[in-house]
Amino acid sequence: MMIYLKFSFLFFIVHFACYIIAGAIDFRLAQKMYSGKDRLYKSFFRNMEDKRESMRIAKLLIPSQFVRAILMSVVLYPVLPFLTQLSFGMQFLFMSSLMFVYADFSSAIPFSNTIEGLVYLQKEFVQKKVFWIIQLEAIIYSILFGLLSAVIVI
């Protein structure tokens, strides 16, 4: 039982670190999409320039990512013994691919960088520039997650 709790805790640490790093890097490139009067996601993202909204998001950031990480880690419990037998390279490949494919690109949520988004969203949300800027965050997150999880978690 302790191995699973430790796995979930370390999974959260790795997830949160990668989430913050990838988000900070990508936010520099995607700032016009998320902020400003003419921001791309104005119709469905909260306004981070509003002090109350910004504080609300800040208060929910860690708890929401904790719940997200715990749920993602619990799903991996059945394969955890198998993962510990893989080489570092295979652990990295498995975890980074899992995060990129399942948690992002192949997600059932239509967004600017998902297959569903390419099918269902209006053109302004899936222009090549928008697609690749948002996809960059997923790629950075996935690579960092794969590396850190292979080093720390498994």
Per-residue pLDDT of 90-122, as tens digits, reads 999 999 999 999 989 999 999 999 999 999 999
pLDDT for 37: 83
Please, are residues 111 and 117 in contact by the beta-carbon 8 Å criterion? Answer: yes
What percent of the chain lies above the pLDDT cut of 90? 80
Does residue 2 carry a pLDDT above 80? yes
Alpha carbon distance 68, 115 (integer Å): 21
Alpha carbon distance 32, 104 (integer Å): 21
- Tell me the average pLDDT of the chain: 93
**85: Cβ contacts below 8 Å, ≥ 6 apart:** none
Does residue 127 carry a pLDDT above 90? yes
DSSP state of 152: I
First to last CA, the chain: 15
Q: Which two tokens stand for residue 17?
A: 């670190």
- Total-model pTM: 0.91
